[in-house]
Structure 1
């Protein structure tokens, strides 16, 4: 027994020594300074080498390339050892044809020197080496410019607008062009380089449709001739040109006397026209309908081209789940796995307080939000109202706080220094944000929210807010996006019980939704042209800049 005890004690000491050793070793490892991780520098992938044809090839003086001051062009010809590449007639013909016919895509052939290129092509067999080199460079430079414009637009929205926040679209145009060039697949490059969205395709179809219309010489419908809105069975001289417009656009068919009488046939035609233009389809001809009727074919075509440019700015790689807002259409669609699961009417900013264009990600639902009066509304709305009536804020359940966070009595509010205070509206049914808001990262301090003016969603013109987007029936929307079958359950009863507390609660959105808050005023549907009022007056200006 003594021997067994002795061996047991020796085994115990041995085991303890091993444990001490492991503890000391772990302390040493933990205390050892962690080596900084070396992050490998990602090198730019050079474009593949260009496979030259067996036809006439000449060397290019690099000073000719330098005239264009284009790094991309320089890298392109590095891939051919500074030799001409467009010796193949079939390849040249394709490029020339694309550029010449680019009006079908809403682009301008003059931007890509179409006439100059055709002059060179006609003299191709008579060109000396320098002329051939110049022609080759011009072909490459203008075709790559054309591809860039198709992919991401001609203009940069960040240089045009301060309230357009879109992610940059990058294109390695050399790699794309050279791969297609080498594989003799130039005929697919233009199709592949363009946006893939359904709306973009609808716009291309709209351009195709409008090009089938004849030129119109219908006179303007003068609003001055209208003493009131025109209703069924009214007589008005303006109806003569109104009927001509309806016949021109195909909203009215067959023969008509083109009289000044507002008959039943014209009434039904007006309703079809109004529906296509996002107007109240009530058959009553007012200023909105007259304004839409007065657009000529050329003006509508320009509108389509401006919208094609916008859709080239937008990143069309949509996530699986997203909210897409069309500001001029006053609509919000929830799309999940390529299926539209919810549609909501919305209210957007006025022309003075525009809703910004944003691509972002939804983060948080806030129930029973407070509302802090923003600087613009403080200056333009609150201060003038407070000067007239010191109880203005109190009547709206808004509390004034000083810089120390102490509540300020309205009678002691200093109207000469309104910026020295914070103005916070308590949660509740009549809060300016309503019962909920949805937050997403952006630089404009805007969000989606409910409203205390819930009767305005039935209006036709809903450009009424101060920049944020107001949503109809928002609690149903919150229930929809918070319900994640994997981890969370948000039934209506649960949301209602939170609302009843009038306590502000933030809920993280676990299911990933992107937000595309964009602007477009034209498209097509079932071979029919669709237009919306250009509420921020952007279309004409954009078209003019595209043709500068």
Structure 2
């Protein structure tokens, strides 16, 4: 027994020795004199770094454990970038601006240990600023559920080394910010809203309904707010209680900027927007700036971009918007997840397998009340893999143990086409049997997936840019023609030819045949898959504010995501 105890102790000692040996050993350095800059570069003592993060310690190791910010130009560049964080909707105080500014003023009189501590503070601030610019101040998973974005990896070490050596601190930091037009428009929106005087509005009664030519005292207050938001020119109106023609134009403009029906009728939606003050709207802009720092910097050459609160889908090819479609997204109780992915295939005439949430909350309730629910909705009940169950043999108490499949067709819940892409939430884009929903302004009405208006048109457009065996893309035809012409040019007698009538007819026939074949597939009502081979990315994102030629744009925060994030940013 004694021998066993000794053996265990020895094992423990060996284990701890191995473990400690893996820990990075601090290499002592010495001061040295830089003959070019004619300054002493000080070594960084271990005791100043021992409680710092692994990343900070590794940065100093790159510089052989010497101070990093020896050049005034680099320090001033960093300070300048910290001051400019307010232009990105961030607070310079989060990056120690006052402390750093005071230390910089006294740098020459600082004790050596204070100088080295200041150097570490600058390095920590540089790392923090780079990460916040590139990935955002917060991790989206710490703020929201149902977020599934592409990872954004950043090597701050490499960036720091290059920027210090080349004295390009500012470009290294600025280059990490989003480059998408929406982000730039949000920055402009922040400038515009800061021009407005601070406001505190009394709430207008949301139960009112005010129309053109009405004469009410509250109209005076509404005119003042329309003037405040620059929808109504104060010189064009008297602040009377009459709802006049100038006010009608202003109300329509205000409604349009808020994604409402621009009919001039002041109802609950318009009044809710009128009750928002500057602070609320600025908070919205700041939250949106932060979210755009979370999104991918490069959305792809070809991608589908969906803004859920604006209920719109854009198909973008080489930075050009080639198609716009209305969408229906998940209602607040069944939020559509925010995600980035890549299209994998189209399914024409899809079947629909009823998801668990709908089984629990919808199907089981309605089918229990009336078994004709299954035949009316063309739903087949399966037990196990392939055993069909009669609606009259179906057990409502075990509703969640069955599988329910709706047959293909125009009235299928997924319509006639479905866009698949990998994600952790079992969602996709699809057609719908509720095509009437697209006439509504408020379209957060689905069970989580995104429904697209005219999805077959979009599918055909995407397929025109794909090589799928029988579907040869227009781009490929052009490349083949260009290669043929390049070969012909080698002949000294070559004369460039215009597109012949035959070639033009062949091209038109190609497009017509491709589209006709898809229509034929749909007409057969048989499920058919087409792979998407060339990359088409899809980004289901969320932003509720921007600036365009019509002015500041705001949309309803349908999932209440703005205030949650704004409160966290301010904490």
Fold-level match, TM-score > 0.5? yes
1:491 aligned counterpart, secondary structure: helix
* Counterpart in the other structure of 1:175: 158
Contact 2:303 2:316 survives alignment (8 Å): yes
Alpha carbon RMSD of aligned pairs, Å?
A: 2.0
C-alpha distance in 2 between matches for 1:420 and 1:536: 31
1:216 aligned counterpart, secondary structure: coil
Contact 2:135 2:293 survives alignment (8 Å): yes
Q: TM-score, normalised by structure 1?
A: 0.86
> Are 1:237 and 2:217 an aligned pair?
yes
Distance 1:364 1:291, change over 3 A: same
Contact 1:438 1:449 survives alignment (8 Å): yes
Partner residue of 1:138 out of 121, 124, 130: 121
Partner residue of 2:298 out of 285, 301, 317: 317
C-alpha distance in 1 between matches for 2:282 and 2:246: 27
Measure how far apart 1:290 and its partner are: 1.3
> Are 1:412 and 2:393 an aligned pair?
yes
Name the stretch that deviates more: 426-435 or 105-114: 105-114
Instruction: Show CA shifts across 1:124-151 (max 9, x none).
Output: 2321111111111111101220121011
Partner residue of 1:82 out of 60, 65, 72: 65
Distance 1:155 1:276, change over 3 A: same
* Counterpart in the other structure of 1:478: 459
* Counterpart in the other structure of 2:531: 508
Instruction: Show CA shifts across 1:61-104 (max 9, x none).
Output: 22222333x22211221233323232333332222232234111
* Counterpart in the other structure of 1:533: 556
Contact 2:257 2:550 survives alignment (8 Å): no
* Counterpart in the other structure of 1:92: 75
Tell me the number of residue pairs that the alignment of Structure 1 and Structure 2 aligns: 495
C-alpha distance in 1 between matches for 2:332 and 2:515: 36
* Counterpart in the other structure of 1:31: none
Instruction: Show CA shifts across 1:511-546 (max 9, x none).
Output: 321111111111111382211111100001111112
Contact 1:55 1:88 survives alignment (8 Å): no
Distance 1:444 1:129, change over 3 A: same
* Counterpart in the other structure of 2:90: 107
Contact 1:326 1:519 survives alignment (8 Å): yes
Distance 1:94 1:425, change over 3 A: same
Distance 1:408 1:51, change over 3 A: farther
* Counterpart in the other structure of 1:339: 320
* Counterpart in the other structure of 1:401: 382
* Counterpart in the other structure of 1:67: 51
Instruction: Show CA shifts across 1:189-233 (max 9, x none).
Output: 232121111111111111122222221233332325x2xx21111
Contact 2:44 2:67 survives alignment (8 Å): yes
C-alpha distance in 2 between matches for 1:546 and 1:404: 50
Measure how far apart 1:244 and its partner are: 1.6
1:429 aligned counterpart, secondary structure: coil
C-alpha distance in 2 between matches for 1:113 and 1:505: 59
C-alpha distance in 2 between matches for 1:485 and 1:474: 17
> Are 1:352 and 2:308 an aligned pair?
no
Residue ranges of structure 1 left out of the alignment (5+ in a row): 1-49
Instruction: Show CA shifts across 1:397-436 (max 9, x none).
Output: 1111222522222122111111221111111111111111
> Are 1:151 and 2:174 an aligned pair?
no
Instruction: Show CA shifts across 1:249-276 (max 9, x none).
Output: 1111133322222111111011111111
* Counterpart in the other structure of 1:201: 184
Partner residue of 1:429 out of 406, 410, 418: 410
Q: TM-score, normalised by structure 2?
A: 0.83
Aligned pairs for 1:219-234 (under 5 A) are: 219-224=202-207, 226=208, 229-234=209-214
Contact 2:308 2:543 survives alignment (8 Å): yes
Contact 1:371 1:433 survives alignment (8 Å): yes
C-alpha distance in 1 between matches for 2:553 and 2:444: 19
Partner residue of 2:283 out of 302, 317, 330: 302
Distance 1:51 1:209, change over 3 A: farther
Contact 2:348 2:522 survives alignment (8 Å): yes
Measure how far apart 1:178 and its partner are: 2.4
Runs (4+) off by over 6 Å: none
1:181 aligned counterpart, secondary structure: helix
Measure how far apart 1:157 and its partner are: 1.1
* Counterpart in the other structure of 1:267: 248
C-alpha distance in 1 between matches for 2:182 and 2:33: 37
Distance 1:527 1:397, change over 3 A: closer
Contact 1:209 1:527 survives alignment (8 Å): no
Bigger radius of gyration: 1
Measure how far apart 1:331 and its partner are: 0.7
C-alpha distance in 1 between matches for 2:193 and 2:242: 29
1:411 aligned counterpart, secondary structure: coil
Residue ranges of structure 2 left out of the alignment (5+ in a row): 1-31, 472-509
Distance 1:436 1:183, change over 3 A: same
